[in-house]
């Protein structure tokens, strides 16, 4: 990457190629905090062997409630060249991963794209999953055409007021709408293999936050009216109070079972068929992985 960074909607213009860091907190070289077989994704992603998940550090959203705040708000972990990142992908495949699950990769898109090309040339055959916050630019996503076949974005908020309060991004909904439209253009229909594992398509995650039932309903209504059954909707109950929430006292509790049931009932009444739900017991700090650089090389990146 050369020139000012314009990869995400922040358009911060940081010269990351010259050592500056962007709004995301990251420089040009990808930094990851964990690479392992992950069992806690949707069933069609984790399957029986686990999803080959690579957690990247830094983020262009920095949500107040982020359960991965230890790496999203500061960049820590192993710095990896595209070649080393490709090695990580191939290692996860060798361990039996159903896919390569790229978590919060947007700010490292050029290097991730190069790593996927290298890994494919060296024998990577499993699908790549783009697991993102949904706050993205269509032009950046276009670089993934032919490289990523499964998209797993969040659609966090419809309200500009809520998105401004929790992630300083009042344009979040419009950006997410445009991003998901591009994802659906790149991978227009859900496809599953004989084992029920997703190999292409878009699955949109809707995380219910305390006090945000009405907003979550609007997100689901939009997705269903715009895409029908061509996009899967994953309705999530796993919100866990985490980190410093003194400025957000309304977030200091978990979602109540009845709140979540009302959201699921609303989706069913709308006619949503293709989707996933969670047990309300899926929240808790025990579901947050350790960002201890498991599965990553510790050497400095290659020149």
Q: Is residue 4 part of a domain?
A: no
Rounded to 10 deg, the angle between the 109-121 and 82-94 helix axes is: 50
Residue 21 buriedness (CB in 10 A; 0-12 / 13-18 / 19+): middle
Residues 6+ apart with CB under 8 A from 283: 237, 238, 239, 240, 254, 255
Number of Cβ within a 10 Å radius of residue 167:
21
How far is Cα 159 from Cα 263, in angstroms, rounded to an integer? Answer: 17
Q: Is residue 7 part of a domain?
A: no
Question: For residue 176, what is the enclosing H or E element?
Answer: helix 172-186
Q: Is residue 2 part of a domain?
A: no
The number of angstroms, rounded, from the C-alpha of 95 to the middle of its chain's C-alpha atoms is 22
Q: Is residue 12 part of a domain?
A: no
Q: Is residue 17 part of a domain?
A: no
Enclosing domain of residue 274 = 26-287
Read off the tokens for 44: 């069609």
Q: Is residue 19 part of a domain?
A: no
Domain count within the chain? 1
CB 293 within 8 A of CB 77: yes
Return the DSSP state at 138.
H
Please give the full DSSP string across 55-121, using - where no structure is assigned.
EES--SS--TT-TTHHHHSS--SEE--HHHHHHHHHHHHHTT-SSEEEES-GGGHHHHHHHHHHHHH
Q: What is the pLDDT of residue 1?
A: 65
Q: Which of 52, 53, 50, 63 is nearest to 24 (CA)?
A: 63
How far is Cα 230 from Cα 185, in angstroms, rounded to an integer? Answer: 11
Q: Is residue 6 part of a domain?
A: no
Read off the CATH number of the domain in which 115 is found: 3.20.20.70
Going 155 to 160 to 166 to 171, the CA torsion angle's sign is: positive
Read off the tokens for 291: 């960002």
Residue 74 buriedness (CB in 10 A; 0-12 / 13-18 / 19+): middle
Q: Is residue 303 part of a domain?
A: no
Per-position pLDDT tens, the chain of length 303? 679 999 999 999 999 999 999 999 999 999 999 999 999 999 999 999 999 999 999 999 989 999 888 899 889 999 999 999 999 999 999 999 999 999 999 999 999 999 999 999 999 999 999 999 999 999 999 999 999 999 999 999 999 999 999 999 999 999 999 999 999 999 999 999 999 999 999 999 999 999 999 999 999 999 999 999 999 999 999 999 988 899 999 999 999 999 999 999 999 999 999 999 998 766 555 567 889 999 999 744 443
């Amino acid at each position: 990457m050369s020139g000012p960074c314009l990869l995400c909607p922040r358009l911060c213009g940081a010269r990351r190629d010259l050592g500056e860091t962007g709004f995301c907190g990251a420089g040009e070289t990808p930094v990851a905090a964990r690479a392992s077989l992950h069992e806690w994704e949707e069933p069609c992603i984790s399957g029986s062997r686990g999803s080959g998940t690579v957690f990247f550090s830094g983020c262009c959203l920095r949500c107040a409630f982020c359960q991965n705040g230890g790496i999203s708000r500061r960049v820590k972990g192993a710095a990896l060249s595209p070649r080393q990142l490709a090695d990580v992908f191939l290692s996860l495949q060798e361990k039996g991963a159903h896919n390569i699950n790229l978590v919060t990769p947007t700010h490292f898109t050029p290097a991730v794209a190069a790593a996927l090309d290298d890994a494919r040339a060296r024998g990577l055959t499993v699908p790549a999953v783009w697991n993102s916050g949904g706050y993205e630019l269509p032009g950046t996503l276009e670089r993934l055409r032919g490289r990523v076949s499964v998209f797993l974005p969040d659609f966090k908020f419809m309200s500009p007021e809520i998105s401004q309060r929790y992630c300083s991004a009042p344009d979040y909904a419009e950006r997410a709408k445009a991003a998901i439209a591009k994802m659906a253009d790149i991978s227009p229909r859900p496809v599953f293999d004989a084992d029920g594992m997703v190999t292409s398509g878009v699955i949109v995650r809707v995380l219910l936050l305390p006090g945000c039932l009405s907003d979550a309903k609007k997100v689901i209504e939009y997705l269903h009216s715009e895409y029908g059954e061509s996009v899967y909707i994953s309705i999530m109950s796993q919100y866990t109070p985490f980190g410093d929430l003194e400025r957000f006292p309304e977030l200091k509790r978990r979602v109540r079972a009845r709140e979540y049931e009302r959201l699921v009932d609303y989706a069913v009444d709308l006619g949503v068929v293709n989707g996933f739900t969670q047990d309300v017991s899926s929240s808790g700090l025990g579901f947050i992985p350790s960002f201890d650089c498991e599965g990553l090389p510790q050497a400095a990146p290659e020149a």
